[in-house]
Every structure is written in C-alpha cells, then in structure tokens.
C-alpha cells in the first residue's frame, strides 16, 4: 500500500518570527545588535526596579513580568521595522514596486490599486494613483524624464475631473530628490486631511468612471480579450 504524501506542517507563530529574524539578519547585520541592545536595556531597567522593591514581593513580581514583556515587545517591534526595510530594499527599483507598497502600507480609508493608471510604452515607467482624505496622490515610478509626459497628462485630467481637490505628487525615481520606497506609505498617510469620507467616495467614483488607457502588450489582440466576470 502506497504511503500518503504528507504536506509539510506550517511553522507556528514563534517559528515564523524566528525565520523572519534569521532572514533579516542575513541582510541587515545591525538588526541583531539593536534587538539585543533593546532586550538588555529593558531587562536592566526591570532589574533595577526589582532591586528597589525587594521589600514588596508582589511589586517585584509585577516589575519582573513587565520588564520581560517590554523586552519582547520592543525587540519584536525593532525586528518588524528592520524586516520591513529589508523587504523594501529587495523590491526597490523593480517595476510594480510602488503598486505593492501602496496596496499594503497605505490604508486608513485610502483607495489604492497595484495597477498603474498610466504607463510610458517606451520606457515602461508608470504612474500610480491613490485617493484619500488628503485628496488625490500621484506616484511616479521609474525615471523623471520617462514619467514627465504621462504625469503632466494625469495632472491635467485630474484638474478637469476633480476641480478644487488637492493633488499631491511623489517621485519614486531612485534619485536624491525622490521619495524612498520605505518612506512612501508614511509620507502619504501623513498628508493633511482635506476631504471627508463621502467626498473621498465621490472623487474616487468620478476617477474610476474616467477609466485608464494602458498600452496593450505586443501579440495580444484586444478584440479577443475576454471580459472579467464576477
């Protein structure tokens, strides 16, 4: 009788954390030092508090539990931040990296999409769009020269379709004046609010009605493309 193929067991939460830590320190050597430093400082502060409260057993236990918990939480927070930075560094400069970031890091009521609203057919540089409480955000991915024409066209269309709505432009172009991919999400969510929820929905619906005109890859007949059915 043939043996059944057993699927490999998924690692638990601590197994996933250990694997994340191991993969992070392979690229970021500073992560290990920062985590150890945070744990040692947290436990050191907890030890001092315990020594000052030896006459009170309950208070000493509370300080011990709090110091261990603080050490774990701060260590995990540092690890997650460094792992996030490593992940961004791996995809930075690749086509579609902006789309992956805005759909995962830009939330809190923002309307995002990993599909660009405009693409330069010659250089493959792209423009991505987000709609939220700060208005409309356009992100240029690629080079400044390659995105200039399509970016200017998108700005003109936005001004016609949504007059009075704030338009913000970010450049993820790899140069000194561009926005690093790791900071893009925080920069967008940190913009000043100018629209309420109903206004955001109205602006987004109006822009969705405009549609997008992306270049069709070679070898594809647009008449034979099947519509997506839901």
Asked if residue 230 has pLDDT above 50, the reply is no
The mean-pLDDT minimum among 91-105, 106-120, 129-143 falls in 91-105
Q: Distance between CA 86 and CA 77 in Å, rounded?
A: 14
Start-to-end CA span in the chain (Å): 44
Which of 17 and 47 is assigned the larger pLDDT? 47
**158-184: pLDDT as tens digits:** 998 888 899 999 998 877 778 888 788
The pLDDT, as a whole number, for residue 137 is 93
Enumerate the domain spans of the chain: 13-91, 97-214
In which band, very low, low, confident or very high, does the pLDDT at 213 lie, cut at 50, 70 and 90?
Answer: low
Residue 122 vs residue 210, higher pLDDT: 122
Tokens, residue 49: 């508090």
pLDDT tens for 8-40 read 555 566 666 667 667 677 767 787 888 889 889
Residues near 69 by Cβ (< 8 Å), separated by ≥ 6?
A: none
Does residue 217 have a pLDDT over 60?
no
């Amino acid at each position: 009788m043939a043996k059944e193929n057993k699927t490999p067991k998924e690692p638990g939460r601590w197994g996933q954390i250990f694997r994340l830590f191991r993969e992070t320190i392979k690229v970021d050597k500073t992560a290990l030092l920062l985590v150890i430093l945070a744990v040692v400082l947290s436990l050191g502060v907890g030890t001092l508090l315990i020594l000052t409260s030896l006459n009170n057993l309950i208070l000493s236990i509370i300080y011990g539990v709090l110091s261990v918990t603080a050490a774990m939480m701060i260590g995990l927070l540092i690890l997650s931040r460094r792992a996030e930075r490593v992940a961004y560094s791996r995809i930075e400069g690749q086509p579609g990296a902006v789309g992956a970031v805005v759909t995962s890091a830009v939330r809190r009521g923002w309307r995002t999409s990993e599909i660009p609203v405009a693409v330069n057919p010659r250089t493959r540089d792209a423009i991505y769009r987000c709609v939220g409480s700060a208005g409309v955000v356009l992100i240029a991915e690629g080079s400044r020269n390659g995105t200039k024409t399509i970016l200017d066209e998108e700005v003109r269309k936005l001004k016609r379709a949504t007059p009075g709505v704030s338009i913000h432009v970010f450049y993820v172009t790899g140069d000194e004046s561009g926005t690093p991919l790791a900071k893009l999400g925080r920069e967008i969510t940190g913009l000043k609010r100018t629209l309420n929820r109903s206004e955001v929905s109205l602006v987004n619906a109006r822009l969705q009605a405009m549609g997008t005109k992306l270049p069709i890859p070679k070898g594809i007949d647009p008449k034979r493309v099947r519509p997506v059915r839901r």
